[in-house]
Chains A and B, each alone.
Chain A
Amino acid sequence: MTRHTAVLGRVLFLATLLMLPATITALEPVIVLGGGGGATWFDEPGSSAAFAPYTELSGTIGNRGLLGGDGYYAASLFGGLRYYGGDIEEFEDEQLLSLELGTPFGGLELEAEAALSSSFYNLARGVFLVPEWRLELTPDAWDRSLTPRGIYFGSYRFEEEAITDRLVQGARLGVEAEPSIRFAWYADLLAAYERFPDQEIGPGGDVRQDGRFSIVLGADGLIGFFTGWELENESGLRLSNAQQPDLDRLFSELDGTLRFSPLQEVGLEIGASIREEYYLNRDALADDGSSTGDPLRETSFSALISADYTPNGALYFVLEGGAGRSFSRDPAFEGWSSTLSLQLEYSF
């Protein structure tokens, strides 16, 4: 780094600090410890079906605060340790650090988010680190009418034992509106560049690079007072310079969530997702590796249901079940998984 860039960095840092509101009011923190167990069943391409019971411990500490004006910040740290028995007999760890800042910024409202997911021993990936970042700008004085917004996002996935390392840089431009307190929607155009540094596509050392272009439509709302829902669809095109195999494809994904808490003691959440991928220049292969003559398509479904009960707002009993399945004419793209768990969580 040259002296000039170091000075420029300091100036920008100080300018940012000066622009941030001066007063900070910390809100009540949240500290949660949890423990429990469950089991997972799965059958993924290239492996035989497996059953693995597990036990786990986890903890979360989170803090939020108000900045002068209408700004806020949030920080949270999650850590978990899981032991798989059955066919696996291994430990796995997981951490997630997330930071968030919302503040007026030159007549606009700025939301900045950064997160770091990590594991020092992940069963499938070894060490992995995934930093993510996101900036969103909207007009500061929002009156719920149709309003433009812009989002920049990025991430880097580092995986020690896999070749799926990936840098993502992207942007979304769109509009949002909240016609009533019970219904809001948004529509964005998304463009992202993805680079896979581990995946060389030819003898010249070129690596795989993809472009993702899509339309994102979403809505959320409120039914009654304690039931919320969210729905999002992203449909678009992925173009890649990888030719062996050809990865160009159309895709569409629909995600939905329904949350319901009729009483303080009870909570229920149901999430479901469906994804369709249609490869433009690639045939599905049969078991023996020969072409079936049909274009490769993959359809995936997943669902998660979580129910919890708390007698006192501090101790929670959480029962979760989930299942996912992929269908394709190509057996390498077929698989299923399911999981069931029971957790005890205590909020301090």
Chain B
Amino acid sequence: MKLRSCLTLLFLFLVTATASSVDQDISTLLDRSEFDAQSVSAVRELFSEADSAGVPRELLLPRLQEGIAKGVPSHRILNALEEDLGTLLSARSVMEGVSGGRRILADSARWARAANFLAAGRTEEELRQVAAAASSRPESFRQATVLYVSLLEWGLETGDVVEIVAAAVDSRLEPEEFSGIPELFALGRRQRLRPERMVSRLIAALPRADSLRELRSMIVE
């Protein structure tokens, strides 16, 4: 019981320390900036709005840092921050509608990744599909989105890509190994294997492979 209390106190201390560190960073940044008083107030208001919406401040901080470092005018930084906040809220809304989505959002880096996915022009429906595919292994969410985007941009159909992402997440491959899957399509292409046949081979072999190397041997080499 004593240990639990100690751990709780330690956790609260760390959370408070992190939050105050972010607050300190924001204050330092605004002090160093050439923003007028009205802009400083608007930025602080936007961060308060993020607090009220339950969006961690550290997810907005990089944009402020980048904008000030590059000397971007304050109104453009504010617009960008508002867009970021909107995208983060949209991403949360989508993820909350997916079974297991909250587990993905539990890590703020994954939440930021989901927002970046939308900001890069992907639709909410696509995010929903990738989140659903990755829900059984939340720690693989970032790599799942990378795999999704790379295969889609290479030219595969959305349905096939979602199926591959889900099979990769459910496989024994380490998430870092997902980034090697697109090259298998390039290797299959060299053997003139039609993309749909390659998809079918992958779906059949992914549940059995312990590693990317094994997967490659099974289906193309």
Which residues of A are interface residues toward B (Cβ below 8 A)?
25, 27-30, 32, 60, 62, 64, 66, 69-70, 72, 102, 111, 141-142, 144, 178, 180-182, 222, 225-228, 259-265, 267, 269, 310, 313-314, 316, 345, 347
* Prevailing SS type, chain A contact patch: strand
Q: A28-B201, A267-B186 are in contact. Are A347 and B177 (CB under 8 A)?
A: no
How many B residues touch A, CB cutoff 8 Å?
A: 37
Is the pair B192, A30 in contact by a Cβ cutoff of 8 Å? yes
Comparing B19-27, B37-45, B51-59, B207-215, the segment that makes contact with chain A is: B207-215
- Picked from B186, B189, B201, the residue with its CB within 8 Å of the CB of A27 is B201
B79 within 8 Å of A (CB atoms):
no
Is the pair A225, B155 in contact by a Cβ cutoff of 8 Å? no
Q: A27-B204, A264-B156 are in contact. Are A347 and B194 (CB under 8 A)?
A: yes
* Prevailing SS type, chain B contact patch: helix
- Which of chain B's residues has its CB closest to A33's CB? B192
Residues of chain A within 8 A of B187, CB atoms compared? 228, 259
Residues of chain B within 8 A of A222, CB atoms compared? 179-180, 183
Is the pair B191, A27 in contact by a Cβ cutoff of 8 Å? no
- Distance in Å from the Cβ of A166 to the closest Cβ of chain B? 27
- Distance in Å from the Cβ of A62 to the closest Cβ of chain B? 7
**What 14 new A-B contacts, CB under 8 Å, besides A27-B200, A264-B155?**
A28-B198, A28-B201, A64-B219, A69-B208, A72-B217, A181-B177, A181-B179, A181-B180, A182-B180, A222-B183, A225-B182, A228-B183, A263-B154, A265-B155
Is the pair B194, A261 in contact by a Cβ cutoff of 8 Å? no
- Picked from B179, B190, B200, B212, the residue with its CB within 8 Å of the CB of A28 is B200
Residues of chain A within 8 A of B204, CB atoms compared? 25, 27, 66
Is the pair A64, B218 in contact by a Cβ cutoff of 8 Å? yes
Is the pair A226, B182 in contact by a Cβ cutoff of 8 Å? yes
Residues of chain A within 8 A of B179, CB atoms compared? 181-182, 222, 225
- Distance in Å from the Cβ of A305 to the closest Cβ of chain B? 14
Residues of chain A within 8 A of B154, CB atoms compared? 225-226, 261-264
- Which of chain A's residues has its CB closest to B202's CB? A27
- Which of chain B's residues has its CB closest to A310's CB? B189
- Distance in Å from the Cβ of A309 to the closest Cβ of chain B? 11
- Picked from A72, A180, A225, A226, the residue with its CB within 8 Å of the CB of B218 is A72
C-alpha spacing A228/B154, complex, angstroms: 15
Is the pair A32, B192 in contact by a Cβ cutoff of 8 Å? yes
Residues of chain A within 8 A of B214, CB atoms compared? 70
Is the pair A30, B176 in contact by a Cβ cutoff of 8 Å? no
Q: A66-B204, A181-B177, A225-B182 are in contact. Are A263 and B155 (CB under 8 A)?
A: yes
B2 within 8 Å of A (CB atoms):
no
C-alpha spacing A247/B185, complex, angstroms: 45
Is the pair B192, A66 in contact by a Cβ cutoff of 8 Å? no
- Which of chain A's residues has its CB closest to B195's CB? A313
Sampled A-B contacts (5; CB under 8 Å): A28-B200, A225-B150, A259-B187, A262-B154, A264-B154
- Which of chain A's residues has its CB closest to B174's CB? A181
Residues of chain A within 8 A of B192, CB atoms compared? 30, 32, 60, 316, 345, 347
- Distance in Å from the Cβ of A186 to the closest Cβ of chain B? 12
- Which of chain A's residues has its CB closest to B211's CB? A142
Is the pair A70, B210 in contact by a Cβ cutoff of 8 Å? yes
Residues of chain B within 8 A of A102, CB atoms compared? 217-218
Residues of chain B within 8 A of A310, CB atoms compared? 189
B61 within 8 Å of A (CB atoms):
no
Is the pair A66, B208 in contact by a Cβ cutoff of 8 Å? yes
B193 within 8 Å of A (CB atoms):
yes
C-alpha spacing A314/B197, complex, angstroms: 11
Is the pair A347, B208 in contact by a Cβ cutoff of 8 Å? no
- Picked from B190, B200, B208, B210, the residue with its CB within 8 Å of the CB of A259 is B190
- Picked from A27, A141, A225, A269, the residue with its CB within 8 Å of the CB of B183 is A225
- Which of chain A's residues has its CB closest to B201's CB? A27
C-alpha spacing A70/B179, complex, angstroms: 21
Is the pair B186, A261 in contact by a Cβ cutoff of 8 Å? yes
Q: A30-B197, A222-B180, A226-B154 are in contact. Are A178 and B219 (CB under 8 A)?
A: no
C-alpha spacing A222/B178, complex, angstroms: 13
B205 within 8 Å of A (CB atoms):
yes
- Picked from A178, A182, A314, the residue with its CB within 8 Å of the CB of B213 is A178
